[in-house]
């Protein structure tokens, strides 16, 4: 399957341009279709990293287990996996108008040894009254940063609160989105999304059977039927001269089935998660190029359900009430240079098992600083420093630092300037 | 009960969309377009510009409020030539308004009616911020204003046939006034005909061509790339060898490099407005050109 997809990509990159060249003579091929080549862009992200800690065996109690060693939790993005040089990702985007009714957008996420359809969706062109429909696999419009692609983020990685609630790829699901733009003088957009709900960090559908090896008894954890996740959101914005304020509220609710296999045993969570988010961005434009922007998101996760562990005969009542936020201040001080500070904090971490508080640590945090240089809209060099205080080993906090030099390059179709 | 209230609120909001404003709602990417629409459409259109006249037209912040404006528009008029490529496409997509999508009746790309100059033979970003169809700053050639004012008149008639008479009449009045102004400007700038000029960015190529001035080069080594010391020194040498009348600078780029060349060569530095609203004096398309001419003569 992967090989077939690779071949398609190779065909698109190499063969289409050649056929375009061949057809420039004009009428030599009356059935030539080369004018219909979609817009293509390609993004590459590489970095050089110094980190003063080998990331194996650590956990974020209540959020990420030791079995999921940090940064390697997912087959997908591996941002800054290793000390030294990293190819973080390559991304191939194709987009075109399909017909009078649809536009299609795709984003293929490529790693050194993997291929992933990060996004592939159509949007409608003809719906009246300010409605729009999006169908396929795409990044949810939950929150502010979730729908943005990695190369438009202000820092190299997602905020901590996104990583612990949605994973390193954010909330990226199959399903549809119905959105509506209100006919008001200020910006107001409402949306509803229905998703399969396979996000392995907070949701998931698959059930399992847990076998007690001592006596052979089994506990069956029933799976859930998709679609298992929905979101609703509202976004609004007003301008006060050159001050732009954008705010949003989001909610995601769905089935949770998560199976973790740690070194010694398997354990399973089954229940429902509700995630609420509040975001605000304030941007002040100083002139054509310079701006100051403050962006904050607060996200809260509630889970109610059962906890099963291999070896035990029945499930335990399990609930967690967790929240966190990030705040980033960006100053673009010239056409080519930006600098930014970010503060990440997971401020609440209440996990109750059969009503008993697990007393997990509550102030996991990270401080980040970056400065970047953007000589054109197609290249960016960024230096970032992270002071990390969120990884634990045997109950002890391990503080570590990361210094990262990142190069992000794009070619082909002109990308949009993000707001 | 809750659901019923929600449905009622929703229908209420929907009904807002059907409150039809009698006037045609026109959005213009830049101020000069908005002014032309107002000159031809008068009280029968409600026109709103998106970009601010005093800012760099290449780097417009895609404000979310633009989405709300696009949502309600009957007509979107853009400069075209890829000047808006970085900021219009994403907000247009988010606006969910099929009327103003490219290819539909409510979308107008002015550049498609113009013969672009400086169409690059080789399309590569090694040459900086290139526009494959040619230099997009066409509106500073007064002849092109005549062409697009006709295009805008036709489009307004196309969308609002009931005011055909008024649009035609107002357009005719504008053209008469414009032609008169054109001969004034020609006469005033005659003495610069054939003279050499240096620009910071390739903003005024159409203007220079129209008034028969020769362009020696730009202080930007390639479009969109800030001047390097090496390139500046080369330009100073070119100016010293061939002589130049002006160094033309726009209102939004840093003036430091142009000031330096001005000091080194003694060639006059003029800051010229490029759009309506870029300086206080340029309140409409006519005063924009008046002000350019006045600053060149000063």
CA distance linking residue A398 with residue A253, whole number of Å? 33
CB contact under 8 A, A239 and B95: no
Residue contact A376–B225, C-beta within 8 A: yes
| CA-wise closest residue to A41 among A416, A411, A376 | A411
Residue ending a domain, choose from B145, B164, B182: B182
**Would the CB atoms of B97 and A130 count as touching at under 8 Å?**
yes
Q: Are B244 and B160 within one domain?
A: no
In the structure encoding, which two tokens stand for residue B168, read together? 């035609």
B13 touching A (Cβ < 8 Å)? yes
Q: Which of B74, B67, B13, B66 is nearest to B47 (CA)?
A: B74
Q: Do A416 and B56 touch (CB under 8 A)?
A: no
B78 and B200 share a domain? no
The verdict on residue A123 lying in a domain is yes
Please indicate, yes or no, if residue A8 is contained in any of the structural domains.
Answer: no
Exposure of B33 in the CB half-sphere (CA atoms within 13 A) = 26
Residue B223 lies in a domain: yes
Instruction: Identify the residue with better confidence: B12 or A75.
Output: B12
Report the gap between the CA of B35 and the closest CA in chain A (Å).
21
User: Residue B116 is part of which domain span?
Assistant: 21-182
Distance of CA A92 to CAs A105, A118, A151, A178, A379, Å?
Answer: 11, 10, 12, 26, 16
Nearest CB to A416 within list B14, B86, B125: B86
In a domain, B94, yes or no: yes
Taking alpha carbons only, the member of B200, B192, B185, B178 closest to residue B274 is: B200
Q: Is residue A29 part of a domain?
A: no
Using CA atoms, how far apart are residues B149 and B136, in angstroms rounded to an integer? Answer: 17
Identify whether A4 is part of a domain. Answer: no
Structural domain count, chain A: 1
C-alpha span between B109 and A39 (Å, rounded): 19
Residue B13 has pLDDT above 80, yes or no: no
Query: Taking CB atoms and an 8 Å limit, are A239 and B125 in contact across chains?
Result: no
CB contact under 8 A, A186 and B62: no
Question: A383-389, long-range: CB within 8 Å, 24+ apart, which pairs?
Answer: A384/A155, A384/A156, A389/A364, A389/A365
Confidence of residue B20 (pLDDT cuts 50, 70, 90): low
Residue A85 lies in a domain: yes
Q: Is residue B3 predicted with pLDDT exceeding 90?
A: no
| Chain A: residue whose CA lies nearest to B124 | A412
pLDDT value, residue B124: 83
Residue A192 inside a domain? The answer is: yes
Of A181, A239, A377, the CB nearest to B96: A181
pLDDT confidence tier of residue B11, bands split at 50, 70 and 90: low
> Can you tell me the ipTM of this complex?
0.87
What distance in Å separates the CA atoms of residue B89 and residue B179, rounded to the nearest whole number?
Answer: 35
Q: Which stretches of chain A drop beneath a pLDDT of 70? A: 1-27, 66-78, 213-214, 262-265, 313
Angstroms from A161 CA to nearest CA on chain B: 25
Of the partner residues B71, B90, B98, the one whose CB lies closest to the CB of residue A181: B71
Query: Are B197 and B174 in the same domain?
Result: no
Q: B105 touching A, CB under 8 A?
A: no
B15 belongs to a structural domain: no
Indicate which CATH number applies to the domain containing A334: 2.40.160.10
DSSP β-bridge partners for residue A45 = A89, A408
Identify the residue among A288, A291, A373, A411 best suited for mutation to test binding to B, counting B beta carbons within 10 A and taking the highest: A288
**Residue in A132, A182, A419 nearest the CB of B62:** A419
User: A187: which chain B residues are within 8 Å (Cβ-Cβ)?
Assistant: 64-65, 67-68
Query: Which residue is listed with tokens 């309506």?
Result: B276
d(CA B36, CA B152): 8
For residue range A375-395, what is the model confidence (pLDDT) as tens digits?
988 999 999 999 999 999 988
Residues B109, B142: one domain? Answer: yes
The span from the CA of B79 to the CA of B35, in Å, is 13
Which CATH number is B140's domain given?
3.40.50.1980
pLDDT of the residue at A8: 67
Q: Select from A123, A126, A188 the Cβ nearest to the Cβ of B93.
A: A123
Q: Please identify among residues 80-99 of chain B the ones whose CB lies closer than 8 Å to any CB of chain A.
A: 82, 85-87, 89-90, 93-98
- Kindly identify which residue of chain B lies nearest to residue A122, measuring between CA atoms: B93
Owner of token pair 């997809």:
A5
| Total number of domains in chain B | 2
Is residue A227 reached through a cis peptide bond, with omega within 30 degrees of 0 on the bond before it?
yes
Nearest to B166 by CA among B66, B43, B288: B43
Nearest chain A residue to B84, by CA = A416
How far apart are the CA of A208 and the nearest CA of chain B, in angstroms? 37
**Chain B contacts of A414, Cβ < 8 Å?**
82, 85-86
Note whether residue A81 is domain-resident.
yes
Last residue of some domain: B126, B158, B182? B182
Alpha carbon distance A51, B272 (integer Å): 52
> Cβ(B183)–Cβ(B199) under 8 Å?
no
Residue A371 CA to residue A341 CA, distance in Å, equals 9
Which of B156, B182, B208 delimits the end of a domain? Answer: B182
Full strand arrangement of the beta sheet holding B268-271: B214-218, B196-199, B246-249, B268-271
Residues B147 and B84 in one domain: yes
- DSSP 8-state assignment for residue A15: I
In a domain, B278, yes or no: yes
User: Do residues B87 and B163 both lie within one domain?
Assistant: yes
For residue A335, the chain B residues in CB contact (below 8 A) are: 226
pLDDT score for B14: 56
Does residue A152 lie in a domain region?
yes
- Distance from A218 to chain B by nearest Cα, in Å? 43
Report the percentage of chain B scoring pLDDT > 90: 83
A191's tokens? 């949306």
Contacts of B90 in chain A (CB under 8 A): 416
> SS3 breakdown of chain B: % helix, strand, coil, rounded to 5?
50, 10, 40
- What backbone phi and psi angles, to 5 degrees, belong to B98? -65, -25
**Given this model, what pLDDT does residue A22 score?**
45
Q: How far is A198 from chain B (nearest CA, A)?
A: 27
Does an H or E element contain B197, and which? Answer: strand B196-199
CA distance A101 to chain B (A): 10
Note whether B248 and B169 are same-domain residues. no
Chain A CB contacts of B221 below 8 Å: none
Q: Are B38 and B87 in contact (CB under 8 A)?
A: no
Check B86 against A103: CB less than 8 A apart. no
Chain B closest-CA separation from residue A125 CA (Å): 6
**Which residue from B14, B55, B64 is facing A129, i.e. has the nearest CB?**
B14
Residue of B20, B53, B61, B69 to mutate, testing the A interface (most A Cβ within 10 Å of its Cβ) = B61
Q: Are residues B56 and B162 in the same domain?
A: yes
CB contact under 8 A, A181 and B14: no
B76 and B220 share one domain: no
Instruction: Return the residue matching tokens 């430091």.
Output: B256
B168 touches chain A (CB under 8 A): no
**Structure confidence by residue, pLDDT tens digits, B137-164:** 999 999 999 999 999 999 999 999 999 9
- Kindly state the average pLDDT of the residues B78-84: 94
The distance of B32 to chain A (nearest Cα, Å) reads 18
pLDDT at residue B78 greater than cutoff 70: yes
**How far is residue A330's CA from residue A293's CA, in Å, rounded to a whole number?**
5
Question: According to the model, what pLDDT value does residue B5 have?
Answer: 64
Same domain as B85, residue B168: yes
Nearest of B199, B236, B235, B232 to residue B215 by alpha carbon: B199
B48 touches A at CB < 8 Å: no
**What pLDDT is recorded for position A263?**
59
Residue among A131, A244, A377 whose CB faces B86 most closely: A377
CA atoms within 13 A on the CB side of B282: 24
CB of A165 within 8 A of CB of A60?
A: no
Average predicted confidence (pLDDT) for chain B? 91
Residues of A in contact with B55 (CB under 8 A): 287-288
Same domain membership, residue B139 and residue B199: no
Q: Does residue B4 form part of some domain?
A: no
Tell me what pLDDT residue A166 has: 95
Residue A363 is part of which domain span? 37-412
Instruction: Say yes or no for a CB contact (<8 Å) between A335 and B68.
Output: no
Q: Are B143 and B43 in a shared domain?
A: yes
């Amino acid at each position: 399957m992967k090989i077939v997809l690779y071949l398609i990509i190779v065909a698109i990159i190499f063969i289409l341009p050649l056929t375009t060249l061949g057809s420039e003579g004009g009428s030599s091929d009356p059935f030539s279709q080369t004018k219909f080549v979609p817009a293509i862009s390609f993004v590459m992200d590489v970095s050089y990293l110094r980190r003063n800690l080998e990331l194996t065996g650590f956990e974020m109690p209540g959020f990420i287990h030791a079995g999921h060693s940090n940064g390697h939790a997912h087959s997908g993005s591996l941002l800054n996996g290793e000390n030294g040089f990293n190819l973080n990702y390559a991304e191939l985007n194709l987009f075109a108008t399909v017909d009078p009714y649809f536009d299609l957008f795709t984003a293929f996420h490529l790693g050194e040894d993997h291929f992933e359809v990060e996004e592939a969706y159509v949007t409608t062109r003809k719906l009246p009254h300010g409605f729009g429909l999006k169908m396929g696999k795409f990044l949810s419009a939950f929150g502010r940063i979730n729908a943005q692609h990695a190369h438009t983020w202000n820092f190299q990685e997602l905020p901590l609160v996104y990583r612990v609630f949605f994973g390193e790829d954010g909330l990226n699901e199959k399903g549809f989105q119905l959105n509506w733009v209100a006919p008001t003088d200020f910006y107001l957009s409402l949306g509803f999304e229905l998703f399969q709900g396979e996000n392995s960090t907070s949701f998931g559908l698959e059930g399992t059977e847990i076998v007690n090896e001592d006596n052979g008894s089994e506990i069956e954890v029933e799976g859930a039927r998709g679609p298992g996740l929905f979101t609703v959101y509202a976004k609004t914005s007003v301008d006060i001269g050159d001050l732009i304020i954008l705010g949003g509220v989001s909610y995601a609710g769905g089935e949770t089935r998560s199976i973790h296999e740690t070194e010694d045993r398997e354990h399973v969570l089954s229940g429902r998660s509700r995630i609420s988010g509040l975001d605000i961005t304030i941007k002040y434009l100083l002139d054509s190029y310079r701006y100051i922007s403050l962006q904050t998101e607060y996200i809260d996760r509630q889970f109610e359900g059962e906890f099963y562990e291999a070896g035990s005969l029945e499930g335990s009542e399990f609930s967690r009430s967790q929240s966190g936020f990030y705040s980033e201040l960006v100053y673009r001080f010239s056409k080519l240079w930006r600098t930014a500070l970010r503060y990440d904090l997971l401020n609440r971490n209440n996990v109750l098992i059969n009503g008993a508080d697990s007393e997990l640590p509550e102030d996991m945090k990270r401080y980040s600083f970056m400065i970047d240089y953007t000589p054109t809209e197609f290249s960016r060099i960024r230096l970032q420093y992270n002071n990390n205080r969120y990884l634990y080993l045997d109950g002890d906090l391990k503080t570590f630092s990361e210094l990262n030099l990142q190069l992000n390059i794009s070619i082909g179709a002109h990308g949009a300037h993000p707001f | 009960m809750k659901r019923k209230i929600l449905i009622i609120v929703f229908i209420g909001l929907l009904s807002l969309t059907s409150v039809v404003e009698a006037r045609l709602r026109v959005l213009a990417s830049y101020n000069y377009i908005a002014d032309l629409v107002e000159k031809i459409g008068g009280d029968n259109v409600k026109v709103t510009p998106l970009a601010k006249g005093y800012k760099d037209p290449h780097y417009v912040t895609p404000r979310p409020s633009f989405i709300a404006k696009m949502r309600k528009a009957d007509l979107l008029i853009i400069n075209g030539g890829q000047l808006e490529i970085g900021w219009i496409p994403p907000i247009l997509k988010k606006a969910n308004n099929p009327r103003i999508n490219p290819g539909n009746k409510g979308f107008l790309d002015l550049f498609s009616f113009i013969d672009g100059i400086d169409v690059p033979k080789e399309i590569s970003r090694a040459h900086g911020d290139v526009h494959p169809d040619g230099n997009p700053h066409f509106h500073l050639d007064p002849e092109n204003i005549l062409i697009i004012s006709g295009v805008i008149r036709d489009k307004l008639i196309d969308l609002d046939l009931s005011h055909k008479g008024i649009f035609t009449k107002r357009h005719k009045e504008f053209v008469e006034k414009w032609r008169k102004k054109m001969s004034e400007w020609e006469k005033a700038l005659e003495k610069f005909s054939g003279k050499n000029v240096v620009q910071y960015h390739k903003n005024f190529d159409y203007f220079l061509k129209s008034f028969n001035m020769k362009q020696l080069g730009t202080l930007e080594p390639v479009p969109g790339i800030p001047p390097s010391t090496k390139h500046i020194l080369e330009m100073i040498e070119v100016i010293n060898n061939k002589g130049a009348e002006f160094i033309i600078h726009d209102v939004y780029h840093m003036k430091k490099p142009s000031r330096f060349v001005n000091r080194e060569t003694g060639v006059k530095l003029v800051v010229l407005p490029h759009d309506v609203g870029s300086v206080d004096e340029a309140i409409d398309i006519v005063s924009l050109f008046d002000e350019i001419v006045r600053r060149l003569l000063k």
